[in-house]
Amino acid sequence: MKKLIAIIWKDVILRFSSPSEWLFFLILPVVFSVILAGGTGAPVDSRVRLVVTDHAQSPLSAQLIAAIEETNSITADVLPQAEAEEEFEDRQAPAYLIIPAELTSEAALNGGVALDLRLLPNNLNGVMVEQTVNTAIWKVSSALRIAASSVEEAERIRPFESEAQRAAYYDAALQAAQQEWDAAPRRMTTVEASTPDQIDYDPQTNSSAGQMITWVIIPLLGISGSFVYERQIGTLRRMLVTPTRKGLYLFSTILGNVLMAMVQMALLVGFGVWVMNIHWGNSPGALAVLLAATALAAAGIGTAMGAFIKTPGQASGVAIMSGMLMALLGGCWYPIELFPPAIQNASLVLPTRWAMDGILDLALRGQGLQAILPHIGVLMGFALVFFAIGVARFRYE
Amino acid sequence: MAPILEVRNLVKNYGSTAAVKGVSFNIEEGEIFSLLGPNGAGKTTTISVLSTLLAPTSGDVRVGGHSVVSEPMKVRNLIGVVPQEIALYDDLTAHENLIFWGQMYNLSGKTLTDRVQQVLQEIELADRAKDRVRTFSGGMKRRVNIGVGLLHRPRLLFMDEPTVGIDPQSRRAILDSVKALNRQGMTVLYTTHYMEEAQELSDRVGIIDHGELIALGTQNELTRQVGENDALVLEVGEGENVRQLCEAAKSIPGVVESDTSGSTLTIIAPEAEEILAPVIVQANALNVKIHSVAIQEPNLEAVFLHLTGRALRD
């Protein structure tokens, strides 16, 4: 046990003897997770922004703003005039609507009040805003006209006894007209895509999981490099003339690297939870088992590579290239559903695919240990096969 | 008392290539035994088998009565190995290296700490203990390399050409440390291709060439094999003319052997003074410039030349 700990500790010191190792161990995975979480399409409000200054502050102006937003294609931000003008001039919004203080029902009916709508030149969104605002004005003024016509018709049949009775009748008619408008069937709906998206995709979860797997498997594949390095500098030969068994050396080296990978993954999972608000699912135990199986599979491949690779330079190059390729084709960088079906099927021979699928099953699809047992089984299969090859073909000389 | 090392008909083949061909010798407790031979003679392969790193193709090797084949762990507890290459972790400090290797030799706790401190004193690197090995000179690295082999106080220390590629001062320090270790009772098997090192250190010498042990004994026993011959050693330039001079010297009456190694021409004769003049005449005739001339009493170089017809090569 003391030798096991000594070998592991030696490997830890060697790995972190250069401060730059922290770059690959933690900093770059975190940076890439954050960048890709934002860069691959975090949920955004796709509605066109209209800044509004409401000098009227009347029920009618509130109705107008509500009617504009009803279309679902425009979001109206009511701001003080100075702030709204600044936003518009900074091109933060393609349109700016000023509702004058004189906006009353009478003025609207008589067409005596002009709304001030300013649009950015040559901007299609501006045109759409103009049409939407006109529609909203027409809708609000229609209710007013209906109420006015109702009052006229009622007065023609039987004159009102007082102005208050007349006003009350007008209010009731207006409310009824507005209710009818609200209940009217929509003639137009806005959709953002022509086909429903079948991909379970959350950019933050996908990027965090993908980057975690990428940055963990590359150093594990690099176990081959540490074996080759020790063979090259003669420390492996020296080890084998001490009373230390070959198996203990191999086991300790592999275990040390797997433990370092587990620590790295724990830090990245923690970063996801506390900084990126990622929900890794409801079964932390299942996630831990899955990640351990992933680390073992990658370590197994690294051990097998160590039996064939001859120089540390080769080991480094092969680990980086194969690690990146496995990450890409395993769905760590882009959802696997974006790849052609042939690639999707071929990627089933990669541990990264099973690891990624397992993590997403836990984190996005809310599944538990039972659902990812096949993933864990396949990953352990990778580990067993490649460890067997690596140990059987391992060259001590 | 039984020898601490017994080697019987040791054979080691790499495929169809025989690296060691039936070598046999013993080493007694407390002696320094040198395996002297040119590069590629089979010294490192022999030491690799003796230290359990390689399995012998045939033959038997016992260390302290334990077989290197069937009881390798018992053998490893008895031996220390100083390999030819500097087998250290450059990114660990000298102290960390010694601690790690001490743990590999089953040392722990206070014993480990004390041994590491003692070894650091012995190799005179206590003041640099906390520095990374990467920052050390070649000689300092060699000393740490030796220190690792001493940590567990082995009964038998294998040193495989420990002075290769270092400066004269470090070489002197290493030779002195080998003698000091031997005075403390440690048995040493020392391989080298430097005749002077074998002469200075060894109680007995085995001369190995092409995988065969061609001579074995004390220095007196070995030099007696070449009779009372002297060695005339000439430092000359290199080139085809030197090889012609070497051949021409063989025809001079009284010359027993003649061979070149680099810029050195060695001629064996009963009376070196008597052949000096004819050799100079031959050198002039062949336009070979002689830089220095030395006449040496019979030594291991002469023994090797006598036995193989070749000089010990660098």
DSSP symbols for A221-270:
HTHHHHHHHHHHHTHHHHHTTSS--HHHHHHHHHHHHHHHHHHHHHHHHH
The per-residue pLDDT of chain B, averaged, comes to 87
Q: How many CB atoms lie within 10 A of CB B211?
A: 23
Say how far residue B158 (Cα) sits from the centre of its chain.
Answer: 10
Q: Is the pLDDT of residue A41 over 80?
A: no
Checking if the pLDDT of A112 tops 70, the result is no
- Phi and psi torsions of B156, nearest 5°: -130, 125
Above 50 in pLDDT, residue A396?
yes
Residue A263 pLDDT level (bands cut at 50, 70, 90): very high
Is residue B189 a contact partner of residue B162, using CB atoms and an 8 Å limit?
Answer: no
Going by the DSSP 8-state scheme, the letter that residue A26 receives in this structure is: I
Residue B112's Cβ-side half-sphere holds a number of Cα atoms within 13 Å equal to: 17
A19 interaction partners in chain B (CB closer than 8 Å): none
Of A17, A233, A239, the CB nearest to B104: A239
- A12 sits in which H/E element: helix A2-15
Give the residue from chain B lying closest to A18, CA to CA: B91
Confidence (pLDDT) at A198: 52
The region of weakest confidence among A104-108, B72-76, B102-106, B276-280 is A104-108
Interval B140-151 mean pLDDT? 90
To which H or E segment does residue B17 belong? strand B17-27
Q: Using CA atoms, how far apart are residues B290 and A46, in angstroms rounded to an integer?
A: 94
Least confident piece of the model among A99-113, A292-306, A359-373, B96-110: A99-113
| pLDDT confidence tier of residue B157, bands split at 50, 70 and 90 | very high
CA–CA distance, A301 with A379 (Å, rounded to integer): 11
Judge whether A156 is closer than 8 Å to chain B, CB to CB.
no
Distance from CA of A222 to the nearest CA of B (A): 18
Read off the pLDDT band of B98 (50, 70, 90): very high
Structure tokens at A105: 């029902």
pLDDT band at B305 (very low <50, low <70, confident <90, very high): confident
Chain A residues closer than 8 Å to B81 by CB: 238, 241
Distance CA B308, CA A180 (A): 119
Provide, for chain B, the percentages of residues in helix, strand and coil under a 3-state DSSP scheme, each rounded to the nearest 5: 40, 30, 35
pLDDT at B104 over 90: yes
* Integer Cα distance of A26 and A16 in angstroms: 12
- CA angle (B229, B233, B239) in 5-degree steps: 130
Nearest to A242 among B88, B92, B105 (CB): B105
| CA A328/CA B213 separation, integer angstroms | 59
| Residues of B whose CB is below 8 A from A12 | none
Distance, CA of A372 to chain centre: 22
**CA-based torsion, B192, B198, B200, B203: positive or negative:** positive
Helix (H) or strand (E) holding A30: helix A28-39
pLDDT(A262) > 80: yes
Mean pLDDT is lowest, of A176-190, B87-101, B113-127, B284-298, for A176-190
pTM of the model: 0.69
First vs last C-alpha separation in chain B = 37
pLDDT above 70 (res B224): yes
Query: What does the pLDDT read at residue A397?
Result: 67
Residues of chain A contacting residue B54, judged by C-beta atoms under 8 Å apart? 397
Give me the residue from A10, A13, A241 closest to B81, CB to CB: A241
Two tokens, residue A297? 């599979």
pLDDT of A43 = 53
Q: What is the pLDDT of residues A330-356, one digit of tens each?
A: 888 888 888 888 888 888 999 999 999
Largest CA distance in chain B: 72
Question: Contact, B187 vs B30, CB < 8 A?
Answer: yes
Residue B314 has what pLDDT? 45
Does the pLDDT value for residue A195 go beyond 60?
Answer: no
Q: What six digits make up the tokens of A176?
A: 């009824």
Q: What DSSP assignment string belongs to A49-116?
A: EEEEEESS-SHHHHHHHHHHHTTSSEEEEE--HHHHHHHHHTTSSSEEEEE-TT--HHHHHHT----E
Instruction: Work out the burial of residue B58: count CB atoms within 10 Å of its CB; fewer than 13 is exposed, 13-18 middle, 19 or more buried.
Output: exposed
State residue A238's pLDDT score. 92
Angle at A178 between CA A177 and CA A182, to 5 degrees: 120
Q: How far is A217 from chain B (nearest CA, A)?
A: 24
Mean pLDDT of B68-90: 91
Helix (H) or strand (E) holding A190: none
Nearest CA in chain B to A16: B91
With cut-offs at 50, 70 and 90, classify the pLDDT of residue A293: very high
CA neighbor of B178 nearest in space, from B75, B53, B99, B80: B80
At B99 the pLDDT is: 95
- The DSSP call for residue A281 is -
**A239/B34 Cα distance (integer angstroms):** 24
Of the candidates B207, B310, B209, the one whose C-alpha atom is nearest the C-alpha of residue B265 is B310
Instruction: Note whether B283 contacts A: Cβ–Cβ < 8 A.
Output: no
> Residue A142 and residue A229: Cα distance in Å, rounded?
83
Length of chain A: 397
Three-class SS state of B189: strand
Question: How confident is the model over A247-273, as a mean pLDDT?
Answer: 90
What does chain B come to in residues? Answer: 314
State how beta strands A48-54 and A74-78 pair.
parallel
Predicted local distance difference test score (pLDDT) of residue B133:
92
Residue to test with chain A: of B82, B96, B104, most A Cβ within 10 A: B104
According to DSSP H, which parts of chain B are helical?
43-50, 72-78, 94-104, 109-122, 138-150, 168-183, 195-201, 219-224, 240-249, 272-285, 300-308
CA distance linking residue B54 with residue B32, whole number of Å: 23
Tokens representing A126? 């501006």
pLDDT tens-digit readout, B21-51: 888 999 999 999 999 888 888 888 999 999 9
- Provide the token pair at A254: 């592999």
For A279: left if phi > 0, alpha if psi spans -120 to 50, otherwise beta; the answer is: beta
pLDDT of A30 > 90? The answer is no
Which 3 state secondary structure label does DSSP give B14?
Answer: strand
Please give the average per-residue pLDDT across A216-241, as a whole number: 89
What is the reported pLDDT for A164? 87
Q: Compare CB distances from A235 to B79, B87, B105 and report the shortest one's residue.
A: B87
pLDDT band of residue A384 (cuts 50, 70, 90) is very high
Higher pLDDT, A62 or B238: A62
Chain B residues with CB under 8 Å of A252 CB are none
Residue (of A214, A205, A335, A206) closest to A273 by Cα position:
A205
Q: Which of A172-176, B55-59, B164-168 has the lowest mean pLDDT?
A: B164-168
